[in-house]
A and B are shown apart, each in its own frame.
Chain A
Amino acid sequence: MKRLLIAVPYFWLLALFLVPFLIVFKISLSDVALARPPYFPQWQFEEGWSALTDYLRALDFENFWFLSTDDLYWKAYLSSLRIAVVATFFTLLVGFPIAYGMARAPLEWRPTLMMLVILPFWTSFLIRVYAWIGILSGEGYLNQFLMWLGVIQDPLIILNTNVAVYIGIVYTYLPFMILPIYSALEKLDESLLEAAEDLGCSRFTAFWLVTFPLSKQGIIAGCFLVFIPTIGEFVIPSLLGGSSTLMIGKVLWEEFFNNRDWPVASAVAVVLLLILIIPIILFQRNEQKNREAEG
């Protein structure tokens, strides 16, 4: 009974998560070919042992070598990292005051505010990104508004630039930043701030010496929750970014669908995963520390 209970989800995940990933890894070692499917070598089970050794001999790290020589790829990785770092920073900048305001709001408002933050979560990601196209485009609402105000004479070019990508990331990932910071700030005992003031702190130093260090775990968690998915982001750069916006998710997509170079696409995926392992481990460690501090 228990065996069956374990076996079903176990094998499901093995078959549809682990095995596919191993296939990606294997194909990343293959060569591109004009065939269906478009890579070489292919191992036919019936051809026996010698076929297997031939097959293994044909695998190599050529695609990875290719990634390191063609500067498109490492530029794309670096640019993804840079965009993710900058966007995470701005998300923190926008998200922290909101989380802080929520945690200081009257108790009876908080469930409503919480729901208002979560509501966009449930709304289609695609639609939320799409909404900004109309706002940021040349004849968009933002330009219309600014020109009506008389702040600018000519429309600003925002859409299809990295700025639009930043705005899109901050907008769509804001709830991921707000929620962990809010939950850290909400747990903060008001009497700690009073104690700090009682011991001679001004409001500002009390914030800096007590509130900020005690919400650090939430800030770190929020930053990782934004940073990690942003690196592999595809929708935002392809809808809001321009031709100069290089992000690795977009490169992988194009490599696969436009160039039909499956081995290189697979190699890109493997490297992307290797890059992500570091922040993921750091994030896990932060969460662990959080749990220990609470337990």
Chain B
Amino acid sequence: MKRFSWFNATSLTLGFAFLYLPMIILVVYSFNASKLVTVWAGFSTKWYGELLQNEAFLDAAWVTIRVAVFSSTIATILGTMAAYILVRGGRFMGRTLFSGMIYAPLVMPEVITGLSLLLLFIGIGLDRGVFTIVLAHATFSMCYVSVVVSSRLVSFDKSLEEAALDLGCTAWQAFRLVTLPIIAPAVISGWLLAFTLSLDDLVIASFTSGPSSTTLPIKIFSAVRLGVSPEINALSTIMIGIVTIGVVSFSIMSKRNAVRREREERAAIHAT
């Protein structure tokens, strides 16, 4: 405590100012009445109104959400399976290749992943659209999910599963009734991670999307190339708002759970 000096206070203040000021400015100027984004001309919510009128953006948003929901759900299922195999699967043929394929996409530049998937889709004559983006996103997201889930599985007491088997469960029942409820928080955060990765992705979506399936990041990117626009500010603010509310409430919820759990444990100790 005593080492929390003025130096630390300053570096934290400056550091967090650096992290947050750009976003705060963005949010503030989204309520700017002027078309010139860098000149303040009074408070207005008109850009939000215009955004909601903009069919192209709304279509893109709808595509993005559909892609994100499907791809993150597939990624969560596949990723959880992969994590389970890696942690509990023991030895099987091609295990090294498998774990390599799980970790490689995490460090693979997006341009390469996007390029290679596009070449595959063309090679097998698959028309590009929502379906191909979902395939692409599910593939790289499942690796992230499997990392998140396997870190939880590693710290998970294997004897719980063995107890379930001992009490007459089949392997599937043991997984569904014992393992899954315990690793559920990791699976949920894996899903959330996959969901945001998909919402966020520009590069891979650019390679794998077709003309009728423009996602929001692609739309934003092409708009932004022309410079700052108040509509994009408004859109960014909405996205930042959703993420902030989501993350903050998720962490408050998990903190509350932890506090409750601790209180119950303490009560249990005093009760005996």
Do A and B touch directly, given a CB cutoff of 8 Å in the complex?
yes
Q: Which residues of A contact B (CB under 8 A)?
A: 1-2, 5-6, 8-10, 12-14, 16-21, 23-24, 27, 37, 94-95, 97-98, 100-102, 104-106, 111, 113, 115-120, 122-128, 130-135, 137, 139-141, 144, 171, 174, 190, 193, 228-229, 231-235, 238-239, 249, 252-253, 256, 262, 265-266, 269, 272-273, 276, 280, 283
Contact B78 A14 (CB under 8 A): no
Contact B120 A20 (CB under 8 A): yes
Q: How far is the CA of A194 from the CA of B15 in the complex (A)?
A: 27
Say how far B186's CB is from chain A's closest CB, in angstroms.
16
Q: Which one of A13, A27, A117, A232 contacts B109 once the chains associate, using CB atoms below 8 Å?
A: A232
Beta-carbon nearest neighbor of A120 in chain B? B19
Find chain B residues with CB under 8 A from A132 CB: 22
Contact A10 B98 (CB under 8 A): yes
Q: Which one of A105, A124, A193, A276 contacts B8 once the chains associate, using CB atoms below 8 Å?
A: A105
Contact B101 A18 (CB under 8 A): yes
13 intermolecular pairs with C-beta atoms under 8 Å apart: A2-B89, A6-B85, A10-B94, A18-B101, A24-B119, A102-B12, A104-B3, A133-B224, A134-B37, A171-B19, A253-B203, A272-B112, A273-B109
Contact B247 A9 (CB under 8 A): no
Contact A5 B85 (CB under 8 A): yes
Q: How far is the CA of A174 from the CA of B22 in the complex (A)?
A: 14
Q: Which one of A20, A124, A228, A269 contacts B199 once the chains associate, using CB atoms below 8 Å?
A: A124
Contact B4 A97 (CB under 8 A): no
Say how far A176's CB is from chain B's closest CB, in angstroms.
12
Contact A9 B116 (CB under 8 A): no
Contact A276 B107 (CB under 8 A): yes
Contact A135 B25 (CB under 8 A): yes
Contacts beyond the supplied A100-B11, A124-B240, A131-B22: 6 A-B pairs with Cβ under 8 Å: A9-B79, A106-B1, A123-B23, A125-B200, A193-B3, A269-B112
For B89-127 the 0/1 string (1 means CB < 8 A from A) is 100101000100110110111111001110110110000
Contact B22 A269 (CB under 8 A): no
Contact B81 A8 (CB under 8 A): yes
Q: How far is the CA of A65 from the CA of B37 in the complex (A)?
A: 47
B213 within 8 A of A: no
Contact A252 B81 (CB under 8 A): no
Find chain B residues with CB under 8 A from A21 CB: 112, 116
B220-266: which have CB < 8 Å to A? 220-221, 224-225, 227-228, 232-233, 236, 239-240, 243-244, 246-248, 251, 255
Contact B236 A124 (CB under 8 A): yes
Given the interface pairs A9-B78, A16-B117, A134-B25, the reply to whether A126 lies near B11 with Cβ below 8 Å is no
Q: How far is the CA of A77 from the CA of B112 in the complex (A)?
A: 15
Q: Which one of A126, A141, A232, A256 contacts B38 once the chains associate, using CB atoms below 8 Å?
A: A141
B135 within 8 A of A: yes
B190 within 8 A of A: no
Find chain A residues with CB under 8 A from B163 CB: none
Interface centre among B85, B92, B116, B246 (most CB of A within 10 A): B116
Find chain A residues with CB under 8 A from B240 CB: 123-124, 127
Find chain A residues with CB under 8 A from B247 CB: 115, 118-119, 122
Contact B78 A8 (CB under 8 A): yes
Q: How far is the CA of A266 from the CA of B228 in the complex (A)?
A: 33
Contact B112 A130 (CB under 8 A): no
Contact B220 A9 (CB under 8 A): no
Beta-carbon nearest neighbor of B98 in chain A? A10
Say how far B195's CB is from chain A's closest CB, in angstroms.
10
Contact B19 A134 (CB under 8 A): no
In order of increasing CB-CB distance, the 4 nearest A-B pairs are A232-B109, A97-B11, A98-B15, A20-B116
Given the interface pairs A13-B102, A231-B109, the reply to whether A140 lies near B116 with Cβ below 8 Å is no
Find chain A residues with CB under 8 A from B123 CB: 23, 37
Find chain A residues with CB under 8 A from B115 CB: 24, 252, 256, 265-266, 269
B58 within 8 A of A: no
Interface centre among B15, B85, B101 (most CB of A within 10 A): B15
Interface centre among B16, B119, B136 (most CB of A within 10 A): B119
Contact A17 B139 (CB under 8 A): yes
Contact B11 A249 (CB under 8 A): no
B155-198: which have CB < 8 Å to A? 171-172, 196
Find chain B residues with CB under 8 A from A19 CB: 120
Find chain B residues with CB under 8 A from A98 CB: 11-12, 15-16
Beta-carbon nearest neighbor of B90 in chain A? A2
Q: How far is the CA of A18 from the CA of B165 in the complex (A)?
A: 36
Q: How far is the CA of A102 from the CA of B225 in the complex (A)?
A: 36
Find chain B residues with CB under 8 A from A269 CB: 111-112, 115-116
Given the interface pairs A13-B139, A269-B115, the reply to whether A113 lies near B12 with Cβ below 8 Å is yes
Q: Which one of A10, A106, A135, A234 contacts B22 once the chains associate, using CB atoms below 8 Å?
A: A135
Given the interface pairs A17-B139, A119-B244, the reply to whether A6 lies near B89 with Cβ below 8 Å is yes
Q: How far is the CA of A127 from the CA of B22 in the complex (A)?
A: 10
Say how far B60's CB is from chain A's closest CB, in angstroms.
13
Contact B8 A104 (CB under 8 A): yes
Beta-carbon nearest neighbor of B119 in chain A? A23
Q: How far is the CA of A256 from the CA of B112 in the complex (A)?
A: 11
